[in-house]
Structure 1
Amino acid sequence: MGRDSYDEQLDRLTGVLATMSRGASAAIRGASVALLDVDRGAAEAVLVGDAVLDGQRADVEALIPQVLVRHQPVASDLRLVLCALRIASDLERMGDLAVHVAKIVLMRHPVGVVPEPAVPLMTAMADAAARIADKTAVVLATRDRLDAMQLGLDDDEVDAAQERLLSMLVSAWPYGVESAIDLALVGRYYERYADHAVNVARQVVYLVTGTIRL
């Protein structure tokens, strides 16, 4: 195969990753709608979308051997395929974490998971996670190192919100142990979601510079 075909394969690889990033962003938004609006349909849609993300990760894994075996990639191309594997794994995991949130909603439905006092905090956490997901999609498209590094600061916002949530739950929480466990898990899922988004940004920095500084 010629270089044109090789470039087409690399373009397809980056295209699948871009699609995955949009899917991961849609997943956390859908999970947040399900959580905050007690929306069963939104929760079920997250589960359906996750199967698509799983298939896209399989597409990435199938493309990489073709790129490596049929061509002689240069160093920057090798970084791309290595990063693609890691990024696809993180994006799939982001989808899985959104599914975890959706499943808690489905398990408790029609009862809401978030009591009124926790709504502002969970809304802030959901909004921050969505912003991080959107920025991750932009970083993948632009490969802008400064935007990638900014994600680390955004992740701090989610971490701080999770700490406030845990403080709320251990301070004479009046809604019972089951409610506290649900919210602690949800907070953890959002926090881990943001961590995986930052991992994607780290891989973009590595792709551009050959080093990880994030």
Structure 2
Amino acid sequence: MSRDSYDEQLDRLTGMLATMSRDAGAAIRGASAALLDVDRGAAEAVLAGDAVLDRRRAEAEAMIPELLVRHQPVASDLRLVVCALRIAGALGRMGDLAGHIAKVVLMRYPVGVVPQPAVPVLTEMADAAARIADKTALVLATRDQLDAMQLGLDDDEVDAAQERLLAMLVAGWPYGVESAIDLALVGRYYERYADQAVNVARQVVYLVTGTIRL
């Protein structure tokens, strides 16, 4: 593989990651719309989009062995290839987690999953997840360490909201055990989505510095 061809492959790989990050952001927004608006169409669109994201993840991962075997990367390129593999996995899991939220919506449809008392905290989690998705895409584009570290603070916001949600569910929740389980799962999916975004940021910091700092 010539150096020009190798560089083209690296550019293609980074472009695929950028596309996946946008897909992961669209997925969590769609899942949140499905959840809060009881929107079946939005939920189905999230699942369809997740299938596309999974294919892109598989395509990105399939490029890695060829890049490693057919070319001997210098240290910085090797970090890019290794980080790309981890980032693709994290972005794929973000899409899967949005899909899990959509599946909860479809399982209960046409009944809404979120009773009115839980709307504010779930809205907060949805908004925070959307911001995290945007920052993940930005970090991948700019490789800015400060933006990457900021994601850790946004993750804390999701964690705090989930704690409030769980406290609400165990404090005499009047909507039944099934509803409590659904909301506990949804809260966990948002939390794990944010965690995976932090994993992406961690890999970007490693790519730039050679050190994990988050």
TM-score range, shorter chain: over 0.9
Q: Return the alpha-carbon distance in structure 2 between the equivalents of residues 179 and 2 of structure 1.
A: 58
Please identify, of 84-93 and 65-74, the stretch whose mean Cα deviation from structure 2 is larger: 65-74
1:79 is matched with 79
Q: Return the alpha-carbon distance in structure 2 between the equivalents of residues 59 and 18 of structure 1.
A: 14
Kindly indicate whether residue 3 of structure 2 is the aligned counterpart of residue 38 of structure 1: no
2:211 is matched with 211
Q: Return the alpha-carbon distance in structure 1 between the equivalents of residues 126 and 147 of structure 2.
A: 20
- Large movers: runs of 4+ above 4 Å: none
2:3 is matched with 3
Q: Return the alpha-carbon distance in structure 1 between the equivalents of residues 72 and 195 of structure 2.
A: 34
Provide structure 1 residue ranges, at least 5 long, that are not aligned to the other structure.
none
Q: Return the alpha-carbon distance in structure 2 between the equivalents of residues 31 and 76 of structure 1.
A: 36
Alignment of 1:1-214 (within 5 A): 1-214=1-214
* Percent of paired sites with the same residue: 86
Q: Return the alpha-carbon distance in structure 2 between the equivalents of residues 206 and 170 of structure 1.
A: 40
Q: Return the alpha-carbon distance in structure 1 between the equivalents of residues 110 and 20 of structure 2.
A: 31
Query: CA shift at 1:2, angstroms?
Result: 2.0
Q: Return the alpha-carbon distance in structure 2 between the equivalents of residues 167 and 14 of structure 1.
A: 41
Q: Return the alpha-carbon distance in structure 1 between the equivalents of residues 72 and 184 of structure 2.
A: 49
Query: CA shift at 1:62, angstroms?
Result: 1.4
Alignment partner of 1:175: what SS? coil
Query: CA shift at 1:26, angstroms?
Result: 0.5
Q: Return the alpha-carbon distance in structure 1 between the equivalents of residues 164 and 24 of structure 2.
A: 25
2:109 counterpart letter in structure 1: H
Query: CA shift at 1:182, angstroms?
Result: 0.4
Query: CA shift at 1:146, angstroms?
Result: 0.7
Provide structure 2 residue ranges, at least 5 long, that are not aligned to the other structure.
none
Alignment partner of 2:87: what SS? helix
Q: Return the alpha-carbon distance in structure 2 between the equivalents of residues 55 and 109 of structure 1.
A: 28
TM-score by length of 1: 0.99
What is the count of residue pairs matched by the alignment? Answer: 214
- 1:101-136 CA-to-partner distances (Å, cap 9, x unmatched) read 000000000000000011011000000011001100
Q: Return the alpha-carbon distance in structure 2 between the equivalents of residues 64 and 168 of structure 1.
A: 45
Q: Return the alpha-carbon distance in structure 2 between the equivalents of residues 102 and 187 of structure 1.
A: 13
2:198 counterpart letter in structure 1: V
Q: Return the alpha-carbon distance in structure 2 between the equivalents of residues 15 and 135 of structure 1.
A: 17
1:29 counterpart letter in structure 2: R
Q: Return the alpha-carbon distance in structure 1 between the equivalents of residues 171 and 2 of structure 2.
A: 65
- 1:51-84 CA-to-partner distances (Å, cap 9, x unmatched) read 1111111111111122112212100111011101
Alignment partner of 1:196: what SS? helix
